[in-house]
Amino acid sequence: GGYPKTEEVISFVRGEREGGKLSIEANTTSRNHDMTEPENLDEGLYSRQLYVLGHDAMRKMGATSVFISGMKGLGVEIAKNVVLAGMKSVTIHDGDKIEKKHLSSQFFFREGDIGKNCAEVASHRLAELNSYVKVEVKEGSVTRESVGAGGYQVVVLTEASLEEQKEIGDFCHENGICFVVADTKGLFGQIFCDFGESFMMSDSTGEQPVSCMVAEISKEKESVVMCSDEARHNLQTGDVITFKEVQGMVEVNGREFTIKELGPFAFSIGDTTEFSQYLRGGIVTEVKKPKSITFKKFTASLDQPEFLLSDFAKFDRPGQLHIAFMALHRFVKEEGRLPAPYNKADAVKLLTIAKDVNENAACKVEELDERLVMKFAYVASGDVSPMQAVIGSITAQEVIKACTGKFHPLMQWFYFDALECLPEEFHELPAVAVEAKDTRYDCQAAIFGWDLQKKLEKFKVFLVGAGAIGCELLKNFAMMGVGASPEGSVYVTDMDIIEKSNLNRQFLFRPWHIQKAKSTTACDSAKDMNPSFNAIAHLNRVGPDTEDVYDDAFFESLDCVTNALDNVDARLYMDRRCVYYRKPLLESGTLGTKGNVQVIIPHLTESYGSSHDPPEKSIPMCTLKNFPNVIEHTLQWARNAFAEHFVQPGDNVNQYLSDPKFIQRTLKIQGMQPMETLSQVKKSLVTSRPSSFAACVSWAKHLFHESFHNTIAQLLFNFPSDHLTTSGQLFWSGPKRCPKAIMCDVNDQLHLDFVAAAAILFAETYGITPVKDRDVIKAEAEKVKLPAFVPQSGVVIHTTESEAQASASASSDQDELQTVVSLIPSVESLKGFKMFPLEFEKDDDSNYHMDFIVAASNLRASNYSIEHADRHKSKFIAGKIIPAIATTTSLVVGLVCLELYKICSGHKKIESFKNGFMNLALPFFGFSEPIPAPKNKYYDTEWTLWDRFDINGVNPDGSEMTLKEFMDYFKNNYKLEISMLSYDVSILYSFFMNKAKVEDRMKMAMSEVAQVASKKKVPPGVKNLVLDICCSDDKDEDVDVPYVKYSFK
C-alpha cells in the first residue's frame, strides 16, 4: 500500500491457504497476545479508547470474532473501525474483482490492484492497522453452513441481496449470533441490527455513575435524602443507588435503593423508620444495572420495523425508505443491475415496484413519497466516501456494542439520507453529465455530475490539524478528489509528531511512522490512496506568529477551511480569520461517543465564536489545600505539587541566572508572588540544593513527611476532629472530611513509590544521575531520620475561598523580602550551573511523572479517607485526556464532507446546511439548521458579524489618508461621528484624549498613527489594518457599527 515494510516493523505476508481462508499475519508475536487477560491489554495503544469503553469491554472484544461480507467502500470502512477497535479476529469476504469505479470510496484499493480479489487486497492493508487483530479472508459464498462453522460472534452483511439478508439473518437469530446489515445507495443509507432474544446491555450511556455527598437523611415513611448544595444529584426516578460512609444511619451503607426524585438536591429511598438516626457524612453513588433487550429476527422486523430517527425534520422518511430499499432489491433481482443514474425509465420502474411493495407490505406507508423514490432511483448507483464514512462508522459502533454489551444498541432499523447535497433547485441531470468515463470518480459523478467533480478537483482547502479528524478528512478528500489537480490543493498544517497512542484512531499512521511529523506522513498516506491528490504539508502552528505565512494572499486564494483541532483557543483564532477573510469554515469535534459538526457560511450563519461553552469549573483553593473530598481534588493537588517541585524552581532559577533584571522585575509584582518566587529561588540554590542522589532521597522523604504528616497534623491541631463551628455544628462534616496524618514507612509500597519517584525527578532537575533501583532507594531512605512534629500556635488556615484569595492578594513584607534576596547566591558564584525543569508528559511510562502523580494523589487520598484511583484513572483525570474512538471521528468527518459538497455546489439557503449533534452510545442523532448571523442596525443599514467598512486609504495622488480625512470620511459618507478609534490594543483617537496629541495625530497618515500609538512598526507584508470604532449618530446616540478594514497599500 505504499507504506515501507521493513523487517524491524512487520513480518509480512504469510499467506497460507487453510480451509478456504487466507490468513494474514502482520506480527505473529502480537497476535498470540491474549487480550482477554488484563496484563496483555496494550494500554499505550488503546489509551484513548479505553477511556470510552473501559477494560472489561476491551477484554470482551479481545475474545470476539467478527465476519464482514462485502469489501467495497462501506465494508472496508466498517472493517477499518472494527480492526482499530481491537477484536480477536476479523474475517472478511468479497468474491468480486476490483474495478476502477470501486476506487471512488474504497481507500485501500490502488489502481495497480484492478482485477485482483477485493477481500485479499483489503486484508493486507487492514492487517497493518492493528497487529493484535487477526485478519482472515473467507472464500466462496456466504451460507448458513459457512457462517455456522466460522465461530463468529457477530456477522455483518453489506451489498447482500434481500434473500441473503433473510436467510443469514434468521439463521444468526436462531443460533445466538449478533447480526448486522448495512447498505448505502448514493446519498441514502440503511442499517439493521439484531442481537438476539435476550441481549444483555451492561451500560446504556457510558457516562460515569452519578455520585454526590449526603447532607441529611430523614427518618420517616417517605424519607428525604438531601444532598450537599454544591452540585445537583442528576438522578432520576427509578435509578438504583447505594450509600457508603453514612454515620448514624449505618443500615443504609452498602444497600441498594431504587429512588424517587424529589428535586435537584433531594430524593427519597422509601421507608427509613426502622433505621437508626442519621448523624452525618455519607456518599451516594448510582449503581448501573445490566438490562436485557429483546430483538426481533430480520424477517419479523422487516414486516414490523422499529425505526431510530436520524433527523427529526424527516419524521416520515424512515418508513418511506424502508419501502424504497425493499423495492430496489426487487429491481436488482429483475434487472440484474441498479437503476442507471438519472434514468427516467428506470426511476419510473422502481416507483412502480415501490407502489406494489407498499401495497402488499405489512408496514405500508399511508402515502408513498413519489418524488423521494424517484430521487432514490436517480442516485442509487452512486458511491461516495462521506456516505460510507457515516453509515460505516455507525455500523462499526454497533458491532462493538454487540460484542461488549457496552452502550444501547440501535433498535432496529436506521435510515439516513443527504439529499440536501443535491442542487437546491433540483433538476434531472442529462445522461452526458453523469455518464461513466472509466475514472475513479465515476460513482461520485453519477450523483452530482462531472461539473461538480471538476469544481472539487480545483477546490483549495486549508485543513488545520492532522490528528484523528485530520486523517479522516484527508482520506475523504482523496477519495472525493478535493484539490486533486494542479489548480487545486489541500494545505495541511500540524506541528505535532506521531505517538503510539495515535495509532488506535489516526489510521493514516503505522508503527514505523512513530516520531515522524503528522502532517507530512498523513499527506503522503493520502496521496498513496489517490496519486492526483495535491496535499501540501506544513509544520506550523496557526496563530499571530504565523500570519506572515498564512497571510492575505494565502487566505484569499482559499475556497474553504476545515478545522481538525483539539483546543478552543485555536478554533476561535481560525474562526476570526475565516470571518475576516469571509471564508466558509467546517468545524467539528468529538468527545468519546459524542460528536458535533458546525457549518459556518459567510453572510449566512453565525460564527463558531458567536456562542460560548460555560467556563470549566475550577476547584476552590481552600478545597485543594485543606479540604479535598473526591479523587479529582487530590489529583489536582498532585499536579500542582509536580509543578511546584519539578517545574517552577528550575524555571525561576534559570531566569535568575540568565536575566540580570529578574529580581528587579519580580519585586514589582503585586501580592505574595514576589516572596513565593524569591524564596523558591533561595531554597533551590541554598537550602535544598543536593550534592548527590542520596541527598535527593533525603529531600524526598522529608517532602513526604511535610506533605502527608506535618501539614495534616497542624490542620488537626487547629481544628480537632470534634471541633465545632460558631453555630454549634461539627466543623468536620458535609464536604469537609476529617483527615489523619501518615508517617513515612518505606516498607509500604505506596510510600516507597512516592519517595522513589520524588527523588528521581528531583535529581533530574539538578542534572544528577538518579539511581532507579528501588532496593537502593529504600535502603537510603531508611537512613534518613525525620524530626518530630511540633504544632505551631498562631498558624492561620483558611477555611473559605474568600479567605484564601484575600491571603494570596496580600502584600509581601518588604524587610523579609530583602532578607531573602540577600541570601540568594550571586550569579557570578554560580557560573556553569543550571537547572533542568521538567515538562509533564503523561504518556511516557518510563519517566516517573505519572508515578509521582499517582503516589502523591493516593497518599493524600489516604489522608482524607478517599478511595484511591489506579494509574489508568489517574492518568485520565490528571492528564486531562480527551476520550476518543475511531467510530465517532469517522462519523463526524463523513458529515463534514457532505457539507463540503454543498459549499462546492454553491448552496445559498440556510436550510440546506446541517449542524449535527450525535451520541453513538445512546444512539442519538440530531440535525438542525445553522443559527443565522445575528443582525444589528445603524440608521436603516442592517449588518452582521460578516460585514465591515472597507476603506481604501490610498488617495488618487498616491498619498495616504490622514486621521482627519478618515474621521471626515465617516462623517460625510455615513453620518457617523467617531468617538473612539483603536488598532490592536492601542487607542489611536478618543474624545477624552489630550488635545495637543489629537492635533498632532490628525495630520498623520493612518498607518503612521497606528505605529505611533502601538509603539511598533506595521510588518512589511501587512497591507490592511483592522480598526475598531465607537460612533454616535446625528442625534448623538451611541450606535453599534462593524469594524473597519483599512487598506493603505
Element (H, E) at 257: strand 256-258
Question: In whole angstroms, how far apart are CA 646 and each of 350, 649, 675, 681, 842?
Answer: 71, 7, 19, 13, 15
Render 891-941 in DSSP notation, one character per residue.
Answer: HHHHHHHHHHHHHHHT---GGG--EEEEETTTTEEEEEPPPBPPPEEETTE
Q: Which amino acid is at 291?
A: K
Label residue 428 exposed, middle or buried (CB < 10 Å: 0-12, 13-18, 19+): middle
* Residue 1045, C-alpha cell as written in the block: 478594514
* Residue 115, C-alpha cell as written in the block: 482485477
**Cβ pair 607, 578 in contact under 8 A:** yes
Residues whose CB is less than 8 angstroms from the CB of residue 744 and which lie 6 or more positions away in sequence, other chains included:
701, 704, 705, 708, 709, 751, 755, 781, 786
Measured at the alpha carbon of residue 624, what is the angle toward residues 618 and 630, in degrees to the nearest 5? 85
- Give first-to-last CA distance, the chain, whole Å: 50
Residues whose CB is less than 8 angstroms from the CB of residue 141 and which lie 6 or more positions away in sequence, other chains included:
95
Sign of dihedral through CA atoms 1038, 1042, 1043, 1047? negative
Question: In whole angstroms, how far apart are CA 212 and each of 225, 282, 547, 627, 695?
Answer: 11, 9, 48, 16, 43
**Of residues 622, 738, 904, 1031, which has the active-site annotation?**
622
Q: How far apart, in whole angstroms, are the C-alpha atoms of residue 478 and residue 796?
A: 65
Is residue 523 flagged as an active site residue?
Answer: no
* Residue 574, C-alpha cell as written in the block: 481560525
**Cβ pair 570, 542 in contact under 8 A:** yes
Q: Which amino acid is at 396?
A: A
Render 308-340 in DSSP notation, one character per residue.
Answer: E-S-GGGTTHHHHHHHHHHHHHHHHHHHSSPPP
Element (H, E) at 91: strand 89-93
- Is the bond into 825 cis (omega within 30 degrees of 0)? no
Q: How far apart, in whole angstroms, are the C-alpha atoms of residue 22 and residue 15?
A: 6
Query: Do the bridges between strand 89-93 and strand 65-69 make them parallel or antiparallel, or are there none, so unpaired?
Result: parallel
Measured at the alpha carbon of residue 967, what is the angle toward residues 1003 and 973, in degrees to the nearest 5? 140
Q: How far apart, in whole angstroms, are the C-alpha atoms of residue 284 and residue 261?
A: 14
Helix, strand and coil content of the chain, in percent to the nearest 5, comes to: 40, 15, 40
Q: Looking at 702-757, which runs of residues are DSSP E strands?
A: none
Q: How far apart, in whole angstroms, are the C-alpha atoms of residue 611 and residue 567?
A: 16
Measured at the alpha carbon of residue 594, what is the angle toward residues 588 and 596, in degrees to the nearest 5? 25
**Cβ pair 702, 688 in contact under 8 A:** no
* Residue 99, C-alpha cell as written in the block: 474495478
**Cβ pair 331, 339 in contact under 8 A:** yes
Q: How far apart, in whole angstroms, are the C-alpha atoms of residue 1047 and residue 1049?
A: 6
With CA atoms as reference, report the closest residue to 377 among 353, 406, 399.
353
Q: How far apart, in whole angstroms, are the C-alpha atoms of residue 630 and residue 619?
A: 11
Residues catalogued as catalytic: 622
